[in-house]
Chains A and B, each alone.
Chain A
Amino acid sequence: MNSKNEILNRLRRNDTADQKNTIAFWADKEIFIDYPRRSDNLIDMFEKQFNKSETTSPSWPQRYRSFYILAHIGAEISS
Chain B
Amino acid sequence: MSENSRFLNQSQLFSRDENHRLKILKAISTYDDQVDRMKSDQFIDWQQARLAAAKIKKYVLNNLPSLLEEFEEKISSRGTKVLWARNKEEAQKYFIDIATQHQAKKVVKSKSMTTEEIEFNELCQNNGIEVVESDLGELIVQLANEKPYHIVTPAMHKSKSEIGKLFQTRLGAPSTDDAELLTMIAREHLRQIYISSDIGVTGANFIVAHDGALVMTENEGNGRLTMSCPPVHVAFVGIEKVIPRLMDLSLFLPLLATSGTGQQITGYNSIIRGPRQRGEIDGPEEMYVILVDNGRSELYNKDHFRPILSCIRCGACLNACPVYRTIGGHTYHTPYQGPIGSVITPQFRGMEEWSHLSFASSLCASCTSVCPVNINIHELLLENRWEAHQKKKTDFTWNLGLKMWAWIMSDRFRLNIVSKLGRHIYRLFMPILSQSKRKRIPDLPSKSFKDMWNNYEQ
* A residues at B contact (CB < 8 Å): 2-4, 6-8, 10-15, 18, 20-22, 24-25, 28, 31-32, 35-36, 38, 40, 42, 45-46, 49, 58-64, 66-67, 70-71, 73-74, 77-78
- Interface residue ranges of B262-299 to A (CB < 8 Å): 264-265, 269, 271, 273, 291, 293, 297-298
Q: Is the CB of B49 within 8 A of A70?
A: no
Minimum C-beta distance from B322 to chain A (A)? 29
- Interface residue ranges of B56-72 to A (CB < 8 Å): 56, 58-59, 62-65, 68-69, 72
Q: Is the CB of A61 within 8 A of B43?
A: yes
| Residue of chain B at shortest CB distance from A7 | B293
Of A18, A20, A46, the residue contacting B250 (CB under 8 A) is A46
Minimum C-beta distance from A16 to chain B (A)? 10
> Do most interface residues of chain B lie in helix, strand or loop, or is the interface mixed?
helix
| Residue of chain A at shortest CB distance from B265 | A66
Knowing A10-B300, A31-B48, the reply to whether A36 touches B247 (Cβ < 8 A) is yes
Instruction: Return 23 A-B CB contacts under 8 Å, by A number.
Output: A2-B84, A3-B83, A3-B90, A4-B84, A7-B291, A7-B293, A8-B68, A11-B297, A14-B301, A14-B303, A20-B62, A25-B58, A25-B244, A49-B250, A60-B44, A61-B251, A64-B250, A66-B265, A67-B254, A70-B253, A73-B271, A74-B271, A77-B211
* B residues at A contact (CB < 8 Å): 41-46, 48-49, 51-52, 55-56, 58-59, 62-65, 68-69, 72, 83-86, 90, 211, 213, 239, 244-247, 249-251, 253-254, 264-265, 269, 271, 273, 291, 293, 297-298, 300-301, 303
Determine the distance from Cα of A15 to Cα of B251 in the docked complex, in whole angstroms: 28
* B245 contacts across to A, CB distance below 8 A: 38
Of B59, B211, B254, B300, the residue contacting A61 (CB under 8 A) is B254
| Residue of chain B at shortest CB distance from A57 | B44
Q: Is the CB of A35 within 8 A of B52?
A: yes
Q: Is the CB of B56 within 8 A of A61?
A: no
Q: Is the CB of A32 within 8 A of B52?
A: yes
Determine the distance from Cα of A3 to Cα of B51 in the docked complex, in whole angstroms: 34
Q: Is the CB of B254 within 8 A of A8?
A: no
Knowing A3-B90, A28-B55, A45-B247, the reply to whether A63 touches B42 (Cβ < 8 A) is yes
